Amino acid sequence: MSRPLLIAALGNPGAQYRYHRHSAGFMVAEELCRRHGWGRWARRFSGLLLQAELCGRDVVMVMPQTYMNLSGDSIGPTARHFRVPVSRIIALHDEVEIPFGDVRLKQGGGLGGHNGLRSMERVLGSRDFWRVRVGVGRPADTRTDLADWVLSPFTEPAAEVEAMIATAASLVEDWVEEEG
């Protein structure tokens, strides 16, 4: 395998968090697996690891099985093992600063208080990795605690959530094609 691209899906492990806003990154990873027939996960580096080909490029996908604030403890060792530079890493994550349904690609910049991204920066020593930012928006009631909001299930119609996740997966495919 040539030097791969690293897809780092952020979320919280466990069935109880599967459809929560904070696990949007895991949902995008699962959509990519569904589209491409991937399913051979290995347990390594405190995460679930998959090696595959996407758009003719070698990719490694990791879903840390730590909690969000320790995601870097899985992603960092994975990146080092496969010798993936920060510029060839893309994080898939929820983003409260983007309205629900919007999906955006970004490289570097601020972390917006996202503890998974902070953990990645701490371990990688840089914030210059790419990101697919999956918009989960903010709660309508400004008194709602933001941590409670992201740690709760989507309340929007399932078809809208699925469309957003599909758009995010397509954005990852486009990035792999361009960056590979």
User: Cα(109)–Cα(113) distance, rounded to whole angstroms?
Assistant: 12
User: Cα(133)–Cα(160) distance, rounded to whole angstroms?
Assistant: 16
User: Cα(132)–Cα(95) distance, rounded to whole angstroms?
Assistant: 9
User: Cα(78)–Cα(109) distance, rounded to whole angstroms?
Assistant: 22
Examine the residue annotation and report whether 22 is marked as an active-site residue of this protein.
yes
Active-site residue, selected from the candidate residues 22, 36, 81, 114: 22
Distance of CA 7 to the CA centre of its chain: 7
Catalytic residue numbers read 22
